[in-house]
Amino acid sequence: MSAAPATIPKNIFYFEVLLYLSLALDAVSMPFRDDAFENMPDMSAPVAKLITAGLILLFVYLVWLAARRHKNWARMILLASLGLSVISIIGTVGDNGIQTDIVVDIVSALLTGFGLYLSFTGDAVGWFGSWTFKP
């Protein structure tokens, strides 16, 4: 006999949905970012796009591990990657100003940030056992 599946807290459900939306936005916008790959040699651009697609799939797996398997380390990796993304966005805006692809990155980072916030608050407290805070 198998045990009944655990009910997912509402905040964890929204965390999962928001992060998947963010990753879907990144995946949909990736083919249109030819300017990010224009300074690469001919064969490097397709390889870079393939690596980017692989990273998106890795993040999908990390979201699944955090939301469905209670893996706090996966959530911490997602949090660290958000921090690196924000630093990258700030640097890019400082160098190039606001452009369409940066707006997509900002929206993606906001979705991720709000989703991660939800994973630390409300009925998500206790889902990961530790590293939660009560506002």
**The total number of structural domains that make up the chain:** 1
Given a cut of 80, is residue 133 above it in pLDDT?
Answer: no
Q: Is residue 54 part of a domain?
A: yes
**Has residue 4 been placed in a domain?**
no
33-85 pLDDT, tens digit per residue, is 666 656 666 667 778 788 889 999 999 999 999 999 999 999 999 999 999 99
49 part of a folded domain: yes
Q: Is residue 132 part of a domain?
A: no
Res 131: pLDDT: 52
pTM: 0.85
Q: Is residue 56 part of a domain?
A: yes
The burial class, CB within 10 Å (0-12 / 13-18 / 19+), for 52 is: middle
Tell me if 97 is assigned to some domain: yes
**Does residue 79 lie within any of the structural domains?**
yes
